[in-house]
Each structure stands twice: as structure tokens, then as C-alpha cells.
Amino acid sequence: MTSQFVFSLFDSAQPGLIFPNQVYGWLGWLAVAAGLGWGIRHWRENLAAVRKRWWVGLVLLALAPVLSGFIGVRLPGTVQPLPNTPLEMPPPAVMIFSAVPWVLAGGLLGPIPAAVLGLIAGVLTGFFETHSPFTPLEISGLALLFSAAVRQNYRTRFYQYLRHPLGAASIILLAYIPLIIWGTLFSTNDTLAVRLDYAFTQVWLIFAARAAEILIAGVAAELVFLFAPGVWGRKRPLIPSPAESNIQTRFFYGTVPLVMLLFLSLLVADWLVAGKVAEQMLERQLASAARVAAESLPYFNETGQNLILTLATPDLLEIPANELPDALARRLRSVPFFRQLFLFDQSLKPAGGYPEREASLIGLTEEEITGISLAAKGVSAQVYVVKPFPNETSAQVSFIAAIRGADGETVRGVLLGRTDLNTNPFTQPVIQALSAVEEMDGQGMILNEQGLILYHSDPSQIMREYSGETASESFFRIESSPNNTRQLTLPIL
């Protein structure tokens, strides 16, 4: 997949915010909002710079929705849709100039104007791109941190680096990693394991898009810093940094961020490594189950055709009607393959069956009726799929054979035999292998050549068309499940 030009975010087919549907989601949102409020209060400045450069504020305020909503590039790649949300999510778009207004405001006007412009950009990005109510708070918080970084007046080398827009941009991107993980964790509506998996595996492409926007804005602000240093930042005498004034503070500033960064790195890395190992284990188990199915089902199909031909002998037509059910019952018990046998005479009229004796009770399908007609014309053996018995998890498989006379050519009748994948002894290894998949909270299913589901743990899915991806060769890949969580798929063809 290649990158795509995006003229406007407002062309989004599904704008809107997806709010948390559980209490913990709103608690996470309130925690971020409270942190933003504390930061605004802690780093607030008087509005002298805003009053002095009011026209700059108005220009940036007018440009914020325009630059955030127009001209971008959609990154290549895929993003997993939000779990339990019927919403397709395209790869994130880098709106090239989206961060420029709040980055410039952070250096020219101060923290509060930067936070306001960041909130505007975040609302548009959240409404049309991420659909997350955390995005406005995240972008506004980044704008606040950026402004505080470039306008501080500490004298050590690290803080001198922070006064450069590019330096501040690179540092706030590090702070953005735990922030975006936190927002994704609490905005996702599912179990804790699903939320952790989504937060640790699906945020990186979105992070890359926001990082590109911030770095582009950082370059623009760096040009202002270099060529017009008099208007950038807050001009005050340099003072000792917190690390210089107290040894405990120096230890805190030096070790706590490093420990937190290491902890987060280990947490994400361990999750990704553990997930990769789990995927490999599941791939082996799925491959084993799929191979059992791939090897057993052709043998089941071949055996069924051979057995129905063996049972379809001319002497069946000589048995009196009142004795025919018992004769079919003996044949059915002698070869425990079929659940139902039914005989049709030369004129294709129902002659009798077992265990159901009337044709009206077995519910012949149009395919079976067509197959019986074809058998009367000389087709030796046929196989059809029939809807399942009530509340069963497997479709029925119907085998139809022509009964030929002594000359081996004349068709004197037709024998129909039905079985299913649940009770047939030849398919028990397949069902057991698929049951092992279900014990891992997975779903095993069997499809025919047309993509119809013949076996599924959910009876309502039987005879429906499989909506997932298939291919001419076997593959193992991660796909979206019906509830938009990640699922591992391995069909053996």
C-alpha cells in the first residue's frame, strides 16, 4: 500500500467521536483532563504577550482549522478498527501543517493560547481521524508542554536545548508515547487484555502521523527562532535549573524519567515479544488442526461416495414396501456412516426410508431433487450440502447414487444417504481438532468450495457465506474478527 494525498479531512465518510461505554474509560479521560488543567494553572503566564501580539493570535486562530483540515498525506499501512465498533479506520493522515499554529503560538504567545489552538487541532483530528475523545486533550497537552519547554529560562545545557523548537518537539514526542497509549487503553471498549493489545500494537502508525506533524511544525518554528530570535520565547534572566538547586531534585529529574522510560519500553517490548511467541504457538496449533481437516475431509468425501454405491444394489427394489425400512435400517447399522437412507424407484417416486419413512419428512432440497434426476439419467454418485438438523453445528452432506440393473447400464432406482460432520466417525478427528481451537477461545470452521460454512460452533452461522479472506494458497495472517478484535487466521486449502 502506498501513501495517498488527502485534500481535506472533512471528506471523511464517518466523522464523529466514539465515547467510552464503561466507567473506567471516563475515569481515564478525567485523569487526562485534570492533568491538562493542572498544567495550564502551573505554567500560565500573564496575557501581556497576547495583548501585544493580538493580531498574531487572531491569524493563528483563523489558520488553525484550515491548516488542520486541509492538505495531508495518508500513510501506507493498516490500522485495526476499534474493537466492538462497526467502523472501518483508514491509515492515519499526516496533515502537513496541522501543528504549525499551536507550535508558533507556544513560542510567540504562551502556554494558554498554545493549548487552545492545540485543542482546536485535536478536535478536528479526533472527530475526523482517530474518533477518540482523548485526542483533543492529548494535542492540547502537547501544545502546553511545548510552550512551557521553549519559554522556560533555566540555564543548564539540557534546558538550552529545550528552548530550541526542534529540541522541544523531540522531547514532547517522548512524552506523547505514554500519553497516546493511555488514551487508547481507556478509549477502547472491551476486556482488559483486548485493550492492552490494541494500545500496545495499534498506536504506532497514529503516533508516526502526529510525530511527523509536530516535527514539520518544529522546523518552521526553528526558522523563526533562528531568524527572528527577538520575537520568540520569553525573555528573562537565566536562573539555576531545579537539578542545580537541590541534590534530591537532581536525582529525581535524572532517574525518574529514565526509570519510567525503561519501564514503558520493557512493558511494550515484553508485550510485543510475548504476543509474537503466542502467535507462533497458535500458528502451530492452528496448522495442526487445519492439516487434520485437510487430510480427513477428502477421505470422508471419497468414502461416502463409495459406500452409497455399495449400498445401492438392485435387490432393494425387490423388497416389499412394509419391509423396506427394516432392510435399510440393517444396511445403515452395518455401515455406521449415514444417518438417513431413502430409496426412490425407477419412476423417481419415494419408495421408503429409514429412520424417516416419508419423503416429506426429510425435506428434500432443490439440489437433491436435481441430483436424483441426474442419477436417473446415469450419473453414478453425487454429493450435496444440505441445511443442518435443528440446533446442530454441522451441515448435512447428502450422497446420491444410481441403482443399476443386472446389465450395469439401466438405472432402476436412486438411493440417497445423509450424514453430518458431527456424528460421522470419519470426521471425528476433524471435529476434535476444531474443538481444541474453540477451547483456546477461537473458532474453527469448515467451508466448501463455494465458501459456505459447513461446520461452526455457532449453529446460526451454518450455510452462511464466509465473509473472511480466502486465497488459492494456505496463509497465516492477522485479520479483523466480526467484533473488530484481532484474530489469527490459518486456512489450509
Instruction: Give residue limits of the domains in the chain.
Output: 4-245, 285-489
Local confidence band at 439 (pLDDT 50, 70, 90 cut-offs): low
* Separation of alpha carbons 188 and 184, rounded Å: 6
User: What fold does the segment set 285-489 form as a domain?
Assistant: Beta-Lactamase (3.30.450)
pLDDT at 492 over 50: no
- The pLDDT tens digits for 358-393 are 888 888 888 999 999 999 888 989 999 888 877 777
pLDDT higher than threshold 60 for residue 479? no
What pLDDT does residue 246 have?
A: 67
**pLDDT classification of 16: cutoffs 50, 70, 90:** confident
Q: Which DSSP state fits 362?
A: H
Q: What is the mean pLDDT of residues 21-40?
A: 92
Please give the class, per CATH, of domain 4-245: mainly alpha
Average pLDDT of the residues of the chain? 83
The tens digit of pLDDT for each residue in 202-255 reads 888 899 999 999 999 999 999 999 998 888 988 888 888 776 666 666 666 667
The string of DSSP codes covering 36-85 is: HHHHHHHH---THHHHHTHHHHHHHHHHHHHHHHEEEEEPSS--PPPTT-
Provide the percentage of residues in the chain whose pLDDT is more than 70.
86
Compute the Cα dihedral for 222, 227, 228, 230 and give only its sign: positive
Candidate from 132-136, 158-162, 295-299, 348-352 with smallest mean pLDDT: 295-299
- For the question of whether the overall pTM of this predicted structure is more than 0.75, the answer is no
Q: Looking up cell 425435506, which residue turns up? A: 363
pLDDT tens column, 92-115: 899 999 999 999 999 999 999 999
393-427 pLDDT tens trace: 788 899 999 999 877 788 899 999 999 888 888 88
